[in-house]
Amino acid sequence: MSSPSAPTWGPLRSFGRIKSRTLKPRQAALFDTLLPTIAVPDPAAGPIDPQALMPGAQSVWLEIGFGGGEHLAEQATRHPEALMIGCEPFLNGVGSALRHVDERGLKNVRLHAGDARDVMAALPEASLDRVMILFPDPWPKARHNKRRLVQDETAAEIARLLKPGGRLRFVTDWKDYADWALERFERTPGLVWQAEEADDWRTAPADHVVTRYEEKKLGDTPPIFLEFVRN
């Protein structure tokens, strides 16, 4: 079942624009042909059963804000037995992800072109094996911190959704956001930070996928990798 008292989210705000440029013809066509076949059901319609999205899936992953879909597509390629749910409000990013799914012939990806928090509220407790948040909108000005994805409510929802032993990965290239996220995740019951020494957050995990966004180095620090396990 879904959360008995699902959080009431504030409005979704994107550090960029929801749509920055006209979709390429091929991507626009995929919105009409491919997306309807792999779209996550409307969260407003009721609870979402991951096993109904991909019967027989051995694990379920959620990527919150998949950008251009490079990471999502690569992880789906590496783990065809896992259901990969990706959520992204930026329409050009969704179009890019659709192209990756189409080119690779991926059968284990399901997309939501909107706010990930709505999908999270519709998922059942302990239904996810992994949650990935990679380079979310930084909102670096203090007066805008309340717009960040990672808040106490979001952290609590992630803890609710992860199976015991499930893992959360948060990556950012902004020092302040790393501190902000670590503070909120550490005070969330059920989430245990896995770092034991500095290299644990400075060194990319073995299965990390470097994307074009990461290569642009737009933040104020090299990427910081925070890994948590649901106890």
The catalytic residue positions are 137
Residue tagged 């911190």 (tokens): 145
Element containing residue 131 per DSSP (H, E): strand 128-134
Element containing residue 170 per DSSP (H, E): strand 162-172
- The amino acid present at 98, given as its one-letter code, is L
The per-type count for the chain, helices as H runs and strands as E runs, is 10, 7
- Is 173 annotated in a binding site? The answer is yes
- Is 214 annotated in a binding site? The answer is yes
- Is 141 annotated in a binding site? The answer is yes
- Is 137 annotated in a binding site? The answer is yes
What tokens were used for 125?
A: 């407790």
Q: What are the Cα distances from residue 174, in Å, to 79, 85, 94, 103, 181?
A: 29, 25, 24, 33, 11
**At 104, is the secondary structure helix, strand, or coil?**
helix
Q: Of 154, 166, 171, whose CA–CA distance to 192 is shortest?
A: 166
**Separation between Cα atoms, residue 37 and residue 102, nearest integer Å:** 12
**Separation between Cα atoms, residue 48 and residue 199, nearest integer Å:** 38
- Is 63 annotated in a binding site? The answer is yes
Residues annotated within the binding site are: 63, 88, 115, 137, 141, 173, 211-214
Residues annotated within the binding site for S-adenosyl-L-methionine are: 63, 88, 115, 137
Residues annotated within the binding site for substrate are: 141, 173, 211-214
